[in-house]
Amino acid sequence: MRSFLEAIPKLSSSGINVRPNAVECQEMKQTEIPAFLAHLKIYNGFPVPFIQLWAASKPDFRAVNTEHCARCLRDKLCAICGRRLGEYCYFIGGPLSKKNRLFVDPAMHKQCAEFASSVCPFVSGQRQEYATRPVNKNVARTEEMASAVRPEVMYILKTRTGKFKPARVNGRQMIQAGRWLRTTEIS
């Protein structure tokens, strides 16, 4: 059996995995960059998450760098800031993710999840569907998502960092979170 890190799709030598139709940077709500994210690269006035793919000298907010995602899972790093998680971690998802405790994106610190939930148009509810700009098939492969439409409600979900683990669901690599310690509805 392959290890989790080997199971993460290697899509090209650049190690990228695309979430189709994800929200574009230009549509993000302008906000001040908090000190805990000041170490990240900045693009169009926004901090670029640690797991984001950079292509042609700019981030593609529809894509993640699978090498960085693998590091987050292996080393228990935050998907947003790239720093080590503490005893607790947080995931963002809708009712189905809350129920099944299954995620594609790695865990975050509480403050990073709260920041992402206020800035990302899809998560914050400013936008109900993902952007539809085509993906360059020479650069990355598109992964199907459960839905390109935002659920009516989304949550920030707290669990213990030591309790999340890799899981294979229908041939797809995902992250299985531990039991929820707290759920907060994103408003």
Q: Each residue of 47-70: pLDDT tens digit?
A: 999 999 988 888 887 788 989 999
* Rounded distance between C-alpha atoms, residue 69 and residue 183, angstroms: 24
C-beta separation of 151 from 96 below 8 A: yes
Our count of domains for the chain comes to 1
Backbone φ and ψ of 83, nearest 5°: -100, 160
Range of the domain at 55: 4-185
What is the predicted pLDDT for the residue at 39?
97
Phi-psi region of 84 (alpha: psi -120 to 50; beta: other; left: phi over 0): beta
Mean pLDDT score across all residues of the chain: 78
Record the pTM.
Answer: 0.78
Query: pLDDT of 70-105, one tens digit each?
Result: 999 999 999 999 999 999 999 999 999 999 999 989
CA atoms within 13 A on the CB side of 75: 12
In whole angstroms, what is the distance from residue 120 CA to residue 147 CA? 17
pLDDT tens digits for 130-160? Answer: 455 555 555 554 455 555 677 888 999 999 9
